[in-house]
Amino acid sequence: MDKRKTVYKPNPKKPDTIRPAVCAHAQMQEGVEAFLAEIKRRKQSPLTIGKRRYDLRLFTAFLEERDIRRFQDVTRRTLDQFRLWLMDQGYSEAIQESTTRAAQLLLRFLAARGDLFEDPAAHLKIPKAPMKFGTVLSISEMRRLLRGPDLTTPEGIRDRAMIEILYATAMRRGELFGLKVFDVDLDRATVRVCGKNGKERLLPLGRQAVQYLRLYLTDSRPRFQPRLSTQYEELWLSCLRKPVTYAMINVMIRGYAAAAGLNKPTDPHTIRRTCATHLLLGGAHPVAVAQLLGHADLTSLGHYLRTTVGDLKRAHAQTKPGQ
């Protein structure tokens, strides 16, 4: 068998297990890598770049199945067939949207740099996948989660500080992961984060977040620093005397959620949604909440607002004011 013709079919349910297909068509691979390098130059986040890479593997796998060797041979009909192929393969509407969008952006990039005579995706309309709102914890559930870490251990103090800062600021997991020691100003109760597209914002820390972060910095973190090598500037360190990994944050929060008996999928983004929802329920202005989340406008805040309206309706039905 000619190994160059072998196409790896990635599993959409396990994106981390994907390995690059053996691509016989170096020209297509060069185009993909040039596009990824361009979005990296524009300071797209590593997560976004990784997602684009995964999406474009699907696109190039589809093209190779049809023996399309150059992006110049892609037509509007090819793109329509690609969307049907994604549906036939059982990919979710969200993956269909993101993958088609990645192909469109790639072709636009190639056309702009003169590799394509005409952009076949220039007038392509991509249906938007319905937005699914994830888990939101109640105030009592959030308290149970916060009580989970063992404060008699350095790891427990660190974990409590991480959960407190997530709940206080609604920052993303990647933003939490990327924090450096000098990003935190406990005297002013603020933390500076670098969000999407390299945009920085200053977030306020609550009293509890300041308390446990101070305890972590003075008591726990010095125990995690290397003894003989250069000290780390990353904020979150592990007992292995190294920075915590990206995956460790998810594992940690899921573990505490299970121990607290929360029968809901819980991860850092759950705490982000929970913070935003609790703020809106508490009367915070939507514009202030959008700024906290790092949203450019109120469009992305719509699903949070729908959730809080639903909560208010249920509270109204239970209390029956005016009757």
* 162-200 pLDDT, tens digit each: 999 999 998 988 899 989 999 999 999 999 988 776 778
> Given a cut of 50, is residue 319 above it in pLDDT?
no
Q: Is residue 244 part of a domain?
A: yes
CA 306 to chain centre: 22
Q: 169 and 283: one domain?
A: yes
Please state, in angstroms and rounded to a whole number, the distance separating the CA atoms of residues 172 and 287.
18
Query: Quick one: which of 245, 233, 236 has its CA closest to 216?
Result: 236
Residue 169 shares a structural domain with residue 279: yes
Is 208 found in the same domain as 158?
A: yes
Say which residue, 22 or 128, is predicted with more confidence: 128
Which one of 112, 131, 160 terminates a domain?
112
Query: 105 and 199: one domain?
Result: no
For residue 4, pLDDT beyond 50: no
77 within a domain of the structure (yes/no): yes
Token duo for residue 8: 């790896």
**At 188, which CATH number?**
1.10.443.10
3 state SS of 134: coil
Residue 18 has pLDDT above 70, yes or no: no
Considering only CA atoms, which of 168, 163, 157, 151 is closest in space to residue 238?
157
Q: Which domain holds residue 226?
A: 139-308
Q: Looking at the structure, tell me whether residues 221 and 296 fall in a common domain.
A: yes
Torsional class of 261: left (φ above 0), alpha (ψ -120 to 50), beta (otherwise): left
Q: Is residue 237 very low, low, confident or very high in pLDDT (cuts 50, 70, 90)?
A: very high
List, in sequence order, the alpha helices (H) in 66-123.
76-88, 93-112
pLDDT, mean of residues 18-27:
52
Average pLDDT over residues 256-274: 91
Q: Is the pTM of this model over 0.75?
A: no
User: Which of 9-18, 61-70, 116-125, 262-271 is least confident?
Assistant: 9-18
